[in-house]
Amino acid sequence: MPKFHDVKIEATGQNIITVGDGNQVNARFENIGEALADLRKAITDSDASESDKLTYVADIDTIQSQLAKPAPNTGIIRAAWESVKIADAIDGCTSLVVKVGVLIDGFLSQANN
């Protein structure tokens, strides 16, 4: 299955939601997972270089992998997001980066309390 394909979101009936090409997120973080999947699709459909696409998608996958854990590592999420958020320069990605940023900032704020 190619790395860049249509985004699919599927509920598994447990506390894990399958997003995209098999990435899973804890149901508590479903909104972030869906927003990341939307951003991933916008990036893969964009005119960005394949190298940039791979970089952004790999870091999105890293965030989604952390969100599958009962206790995600906020340091890893923060570092990966720093790389992904510059995708706002890609046509069609600005509003999605803002949306994901708000959700991740909210998650990180709650996780630090």
Average pLDDT for the chain: 84
Task: Read off the pLDDT band of 71 (50, 70, 90).
Answer: confident
Q: What's this model's pTM, rounded to 2 decimal places? A: 0.78
What is the mean predicted confidence (pLDDT) over 21-46?
A: 82
Map tokens 């997003």 to a residue.
Answer: 19
What band does 63 get if pLDDT is binned at 50, 70 and 90? very high
Judge whether residue 10 has pLDDT over 90.
Answer: no
Distances (CA, A) of 96 to 6, 23, 28, 81, 102: 17, 19, 20, 13, 10
Instruction: Choose among 93, 94, 104: nearest CA to 66.
Output: 104
pLDDT in tens, 88-110: 999 999 999 999 999 999 999 98
Residue percentage of the chain with pLDDT more than 90: 62
Domain ranges of the chain: 9-111
What the block records as the tokens of 106 is: 């909210």
Instruction: Map tokens 């995600």 to a residue.
Output: 72
- Report helix angle 94-111 to 30-44, nearest 10: 150
Give the residue among 111, 43, 34, 27 at the shortest CA–CA distance from 83: 43
